[in-house]
Every structure is written in structure tokens, then in C-alpha cells.
Amino acid sequence: MYFQWYPGHMTKAKRMMQENMKLVDLVIELVDARIPFSSRNPDIDELGRGKARVVLLNKSDLAEERWNDAWSRYFEEKGFLTVKVNSKKGSGMKAIQTVIGEACKEKIERDRKRGILNRPVRAMVVGIPNVGKSTFINALAGKACTKTGNKPGVTKGKQWIRLNRQVELLDTPGILWPKFEDQKVGLCLALIGSIKDEILNTEELAMELIQFMQEKYPGALEEKYHMEAADDSYEMLKGIAKSRHCLVRGNELDVEKAAALLLDDFRNGKLGRITLETCQNKDENERQLRGREDGEA
Ligand SMILES: Nc1nc2c(ncn2[C@@H]2O[C@H](COP(=O)(O)OP(=O)(O)OP(=O)(O)O)[C@@H](O)[C@H]2O)c(=O)[nH]1
Ligand SMILES: [Mg+2]
């Protein structure tokens, strides 16, 4: 399966972000805790050059805690202020207020010396589609001021949100980049729902997930769907269809429906807390990230 999704609205969004970058003091980048490597858009380093930076490990409730901690350390070692968050529940929000203040300390001090008092800190909230940017803003604001939804491409344009007298946030549409040098990155993005499902082959994607689960979380699928293990991913999919009574024309197994159901269960955390990408091999990650940047040039 080949993954690519870079529709026109993302080019437009990137241009808007470039234009608005001069207005902000800080870039808050959300990554998905299940794929902290693949959910980092290499274009954001370029866009946010010279700005204070914060990385939020969002959807941390869906990933394994030991890997959340390891990834937090990884980003901290790279010099980012990092916070683990669950925007859906609103946890981690207190720590964020502190981190925003810390990240903008120099700017606040500079303003103070020039006699500028009480100018709010402006932060641009960025990240791949469906990572939870708008949900995060709502959680921080304590009210629903932006539109959210469990599919990529919900936010279409920019929206400024005034949190309080000290902080203003800019919500932006999720953006990907023109080419995934490593198709494993595309696979991860598709699995978590950052690539439009309509252009994906659901069955193949589900089989990729089954393969991963059988290798890294053996027994989890059998337990969840009350079924026997099978060697072949397609047979496993059939097993899920049988167990969940996914049928067409009376009694034929509806494998496609089972595939969609499995992906939904994974995305909603119903298979348990799963980390797709671990940070065991940091050098390899670095090399791949550089490869992506080279590919962009
Ligand atoms: N479990 C869990 N779900 C989350 C979390 N944050 C966001 N979500 C869910 O993820 C989905 C996407 O959230 P949005 O806030 O719309 O994502 P977005 O990044 O603004 O997406 P675009 O506007 O499409 O780029 C929604 O169904 C949210 O409820 C989280 O920390 N944990
Ligand atoms: Mg949004």
C-alpha cells in the first residue's frame, strides 16, 4: 500500500501559518503519543525557526505510559519543553500554563525592559491532522471555542482564541507534507486516522495492524475478540468478523466491516494502550528525520 495525502487545503494552510508566524512568540506542536516520531511534520521545524518551542505528547491516554515517559525524555534531550497530555480529559493543562510562561520568559523580560507590560503571549498550535489541536485548545480554554471531530481535516481555517489576558492561541488546520520518504511513516499516520480513510484500503490497513499486534502485543486481539489465534492476518480478520457478527447477504463474512471495526477499536483505545513507535533506536530516528528533511529540499 502506498500512502500519500497532501491536498490543496494543506498547501494553503501552510502559507497561512508562514504568514502568521511573525505574529507569534511560541509554537506549540502536538504529536501523537502512539507515534511521536511519525507524527512530527518536518516542515514545522522550518516554519518555527527562531521561535520558542513546546512539544505536547497528546493522546497519552492511548499510548503505554513507559513509552510516554521515554519519549518525553527524548524530546527534552532535544531541547524542547515537553508535556504529556490527554486533551480529551483535560489532564496536563496546569503544567502547560507553566511551560508557556517558561518558554516565553525571555520575551516577557524583553517586553518589560522596553516598558511594554501585559502584552499577551501569542502561541500557534500546530500538528498533523486529527492529532487533537482543537480539543487541546478547548481543554485549555475550559470551553468549546473550536470545532473538533474524530476525522482529519475538521479545522479549515485559522482561528484566534483568547485564553485570558496573558495568552492568545491560534488554532490551525492539520498539515502533512508532500512526500513520506519512509512509507512506514505513512502507515503509522493512516493507522491513527490522520490520513483520510476514503483514500485508504481498509482491509490492507487492518491487516497491517493485525501483524503489528501479533508481534508486539501477542494475545491481545484473541482476548478482545474472544477468538483463536491464526497465522494469517486475513484469517484473523475473518475471525474478528465471525466474533462480531459482521455478515453480508445473510451468512457471508463481511471482512471489510470487521476491518473498519478493528481500526475504530484501535483508534479509540479499545484494544488497550498501544504504542506503535518506540524510541529505542534514537540514532535511526535521527537519520530518518534528516532523510525526510533532505527529501524536502
Ligand atoms: N483519547 C484521546 N482523544 C483525543 C485527545 N485529544 C483529542 N482527541 C480526539 O481526537 C479527535 C480529533 O480531535 P481534534 O481536536 O478535532 O483534532 P485536530 O488536530 O484539531 O484535527 P484537524 O482540525 O482535523 O487538524 C477528536 O475525536 C478528539 O476527541 C486525547 O488526548 N485523548
Ligand atoms: Mg482542528
Do 155 and 248 belong to one domain?
A: no
Establish if 3 belongs to a structural domain: no
If asked whether residues 174 and 218 sit together in one domain, one would say no
Of the candidates 154, 180, 206, which is a domain's last residue? 180
pLDDT of res. 278 = 93
**Ligand 1 near 132 CB (within 6 A):** yes
Give me the residues paired with residue 247 across strands: 253
Q: How far apart are CA 142 and CA 90, in angstroms?
A: 9
Q: What is the pLDDT of residue 295?
A: 43
**How far out from the chain centre does Cα 154 lie?**
14
Q: What is the DSSP string of 223-273?
A: HHHT----SSHHHHHHHHHHHTT-EETTTEE-HHHHHHHHHHHHHTTTT--
Residue 187 lies in a domain: yes
263 and 234 within one domain: yes
> What pLDDT does residue 118 have?
81
pTM reported for the whole predicted model: 0.93
Q: Say whether both 21 and 109 belong to one domain.
A: yes
Q: Which CATH number goes with the domain that contains 220?
A: 1.10.1580.10
Q: What is the mean pLDDT of each run of 10 residues along the chain (297 residues)?
A: 95 98 97 98 94 97 97 95 97 92 90 90 97 98 96 96 93 97 96 97 98 96 96 96 92 96 98 94 58 46
In-domain check, residue 220? yes
Is 279 a domain residue?
no
Pick from 180, 197, 217: which residue ends a domain?
Answer: 180
CATH number at residue 137: 3.40.50.300
Same-domain pairing of 31 and 152: yes
Domain residue limits at 251:
183-267
Measured between alpha carbons, how far is 215 from 56 in angstroms, rounded to an integer? 28
Predicted confidence at residue 296, as pLDDT, reads 41
Q: Whose CA is nearest to atom 27 of ligand 1?
A: 150
The secondary structure element, H or E, covering residue 288 is: helix 282-296
Q: Which residue's CA is minimally distant from atom 4 of ligand 1? A: 88
As a whole number of angstroms, the distance between CA 55 and CA 35 comes to 13
Q: DSSP per residue over 159-193, as a string?
A: EEEE-SSSEEEEE------S--SSHHHHHHHHHHT
**What is the number of other CB atoms lying within 10 angstroms of the CB of residue 34?**
27
- Look at residues 155, 180, 205 and tell me which one is the last residue of a structural domain: 180
Looking at the CA of residue 131, tell me the nearest atom of ligand 1: 19
Residue 296 lies in a domain: no
Shared domain check, 204 and 132: no
**What's the grid cell of residue 97?**
500554563
Burial 175-199 (b: 16+ CB within 10 A, else e): bbbeebbeebbbbbbbbbbbbeeee
Predicted confidence at residue 279, as pLDDT, reads 87
What is the count of structural domains for the chain?
2
CA-proximal residue: ligand 1, atom 10 (nearest)? 132
Same domain? 96 vs 233: no
28, 54 contact by CB (below 8 A) = yes
Q: Which of 126, 56, 121, 39 is nearest to 92 (CA)?
A: 56
Q: Please indicate, yes or no, whether residues 129 and 61 belong to a single structural domain of this protein.
A: yes
Residue 286 covered by a domain? no
Do residue 234 and residue 259 come from a single domain? Answer: yes
Q: Does residue 291 lie within any of the structural domains?
A: no
**Residue of 40, 87, 138, 140 best suited for mutating to test ligand 1, as the one with most atoms within 8 Å of CB:** 87
| pLDDT tens digits, one per residue of 75-84 | 999 999 999 9
Residues 31 and 171 in one domain: yes
pLDDT at 292: 54
171 and 45 inside one domain: yes
> Residue 93's pLDDT is what?
92
- DSSP category for residue 120: P
Do the domain assignments include residue 109?
yes
**pLDDT at residue 297, as a whole number:** 32
- For cell 492539520, name the residue: 174
- 22 and 132 part of one domain: yes
